[in-house]
């Protein structure tokens, strides 16, 4: 994979710094996983992988199930020097965890309060991108109790309907025709939060991992079905991943856009930016994941391998960001 000179230099420096790290530098590490969100099982899977990787490299790492358990342990006088946050959704990505750990002076992986809270809300993230002149798919906000069918019709089919503050394709409905509306309407009747209807983009699905100030090679996702749903993400072995997803100027453009979207949303450290390509060739920012998956099907590890960073080194590189005074 050919990176631009600056990115290649940054990756080489990252590899060198990881190689020079002494496991003792991290002290006692809590790998925070599980929790109470709809993404609990995926988080437990990711967390087990991260925990095993850190322990394999000699880090004094311990698994902790959820923010409540971590705060209880700290309240009992148990000591942790830093936190590897791999809580997907909920308190792990909405700024609650980040605010609590900031108050305790405990370093943690991933973006801080602002970036986490903002990007957990897809609607507000899109509003920021639009204000910054960054491209994103058209959408309509659906307030609790609002007429979902009317919102969908105002945008025009086909669309996706999704919760503004969930991840892992939880509660996502693909609506290609009027006959597809009923399940989404039933879900909306019981869901307490905001939803959005978003234009369905069909030109290609991509994601770009961010590690420090570097946008990793893009990954093109080709699901076996019509779209990249929960089964395609975490269960199916038939989903295809192409890394790098593009070549030449297109690859450079998608990586530049992803990094700009990440920074515009107030994010630092590491994360993942999902991007769609319109049929006319335009790239559109879709959403940011501030605690990406680290399962066997996950995409940031795939992109890191493309530039010669294995899973254990990736985990160390992410954790090493907690040693830095400031994060790119």
Each residue of 87-141: pLDDT tens digit? Answer: 998 899 999 999 999 999 999 999 999 999 999 999 999 999 999 999 999 999 9
Which residues 6+ apart lie within 8 Å of 102 measured at CB? 112, 113
Burial status of residue 290 (CB atoms within 10 A of its CB: 0-12, 13-18, 19 or more):
buried
At residue 157, the pLDDT reads 92
Question: Facing residues of 29 across strands?
Answer: 61, 82
Asked whether the CA dihedral 272, 314, 9, 247 is positive or negative, the reply is negative
Give every CB contact of residue 164 below 8 A, 6+ residues apart in sequence.
121, 122, 123, 124, 141, 193, 194, 195, 196
Full DSSP string of 83-98: EEE---SGGGTSSHHH
Q: What is the pLDDT of residue 5?
A: 79
| 19 preceded by a cis bond (ω within 30 of 0) | no
Residue 75 C-beta-side C-alpha neighbours within 13 Å: 7
Cis-peptide into 172, omega within 30 deg: no
The residues carrying an active-site annotation are 39, 168, 234, 272, 274, 287, 289, 293
Provide the sign of the torsion angle of the four alpha carbons 89, 90, 94, 95, taken in this order: negative
Q: What is the pTM of this model?
A: 0.90
Spell out, as residue ranges, where the chain has pLDDT lower than 50.
328
Q: Domains of the chain by range and CATH? A: 12-109+310-323 (3.40.50.20), 119-135+201-306 (3.30.470.20), 139-199 (3.30.1490.20)
CB 85 within 8 A of CB 291: yes
């Amino acid at each position: 994979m050919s990176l631009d000179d600056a990115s290649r230099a940054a990756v080489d420096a990252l590899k060198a710094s990881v190689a020079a790290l002494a496991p003792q530098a991290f002290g006692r590490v809590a790998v925070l996983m599980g929790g109470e969100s709809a993404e609990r099982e995926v988080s437990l899977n990711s967390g087990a992988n991260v925990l095993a990787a850190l322990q394999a490299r000699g880090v004094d790492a311990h698994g902790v199930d959820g923010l409540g358990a971590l705060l209880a342990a700290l309240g009992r006088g148990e000591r942790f020097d830093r936190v590897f946050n791999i809580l997907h959704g909920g308190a792990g990505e909405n700024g609650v965890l980040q605010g609590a750990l900031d108050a305790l002076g405990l370093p943690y992986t991933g973006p801080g309060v602002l970036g986490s809270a903002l990007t957990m809300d897809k609607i507000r993230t899109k509003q920021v991108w639009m204000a910054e002149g960054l491209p994103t798919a058209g959408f309509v906000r659906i307030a609790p109790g609002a007429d979902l069918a009317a919102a969908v019709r105002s945008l025009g089919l086909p669309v996706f309907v999704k919760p503004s503050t969930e991840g892992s394709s939880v509660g996502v409905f693909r609506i290609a025709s009027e006959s597809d509306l009923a399940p989404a309407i039933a879900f909306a009747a019981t869901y307490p939060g905001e939803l959005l209807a978003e234009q369905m983009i069909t030109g290609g699905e991509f994601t770009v991992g961010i590690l420090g100030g570097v946008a990793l090679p893009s990954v093109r996702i080709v699901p076996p079905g019509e779209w990249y749903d929960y089964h395609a993400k975490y269960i199916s072995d038939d989903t295809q991943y192409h890394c790098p997803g593009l070549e030449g100027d297109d690859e450079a453009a998608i990586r530049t856009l992803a990094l700009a979207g990440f920074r515009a949303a107030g994010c630092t450290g590491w994360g993942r930016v999902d991007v769609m390509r319109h049929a006319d060739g335009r790239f559109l920012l879709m959403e940011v994941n501030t605690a990406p998956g680290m399962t066997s099907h996950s995409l940031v590890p795939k992109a890191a391998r493309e530039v010669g960073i294995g899973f254990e080194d990736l985990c160390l590189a992410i954790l090493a960001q907690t040693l830095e005074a400031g994060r790119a």
